[in-house]
């Protein structure tokens, strides 16, 4: 996620912008399977609907609030430095929260099911 996003400021040409956007989309698509697996390990399969509701509500709210807020900050300060600082702070706080999360019980983690086809 960070590698293509960090290349956005150098996208002075439209072709470079499309390459960065393609890399971002390709790499971001790999996060959903990780979110599904980790949420099932930490909270169980039975509560995944509620967990996805909270996670995706937060992501949608952040996207809906973040862009206009960054635009407002740009209008007031005539640069994006404060907006990037706010985003970096939120990412840092979110990263630190991962160290607080209690790991799942090893008893609750089930081994993968091996499917055997017999004809």
36 within domain boundaries:
yes
List the domain range (segments joined by +) for residue 73. 2-97
Confidence of residue 1 (pLDDT cuts 50, 70, 90): very low
Mean pLDDT calculated for residue range 73-89: 90
User: Does residue 48 have a pLDDT over 70?
Assistant: yes
In a domain, 57, yes or no: yes
| Residue 114 domain-assigned (yes or no) | no
**pTM of the complete model:** 0.57
Number of domains in the chain: 1
- Tell me whether residue 107 is in a domain: no
Residue 90 lies in a domain: yes
Please check whether residue 93 lies inside any domain of the structure.
yes
Residue by residue, DSSP assigns the chain as -HHHHHTGGG--SHHHHHHHHHHHHHHHTTHHHHHHHHHHHHH-GGGHHHHHHHHHHHHHHHHHHHHHHHHHHHHHHSSSHHHHHHHHHHHHHHHHHTTTSPPPPTTTPPPPPPP----
Q: Is residue 83 part of a domain?
A: yes
């Amino acid at each position: 996620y960070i590698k293509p996003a960090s290349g956005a400021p150098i996208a002075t040409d439209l072709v470079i912008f499309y390459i960065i956007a393609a890399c971002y989309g390709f790499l971001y698509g790999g996060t959903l399977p990780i979110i599904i697996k980790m949420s099932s390990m930490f909270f169980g399969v039975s509560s995944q609907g509620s967990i996805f509701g909270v996670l995706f509500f937060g992501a949608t709210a952040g996207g809906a609030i973040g862009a206009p807020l960054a635009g407002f900050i740009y209008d007031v300060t005539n640069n994006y430095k404060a907006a990037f600082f706010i985003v970096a702070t939120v990412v840092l706080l979110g990263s630190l929260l991962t160290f607080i999360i209690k790991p799942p019980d090893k008893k609750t983690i089930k081994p993968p099911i091996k499917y055997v086809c017999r004809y």
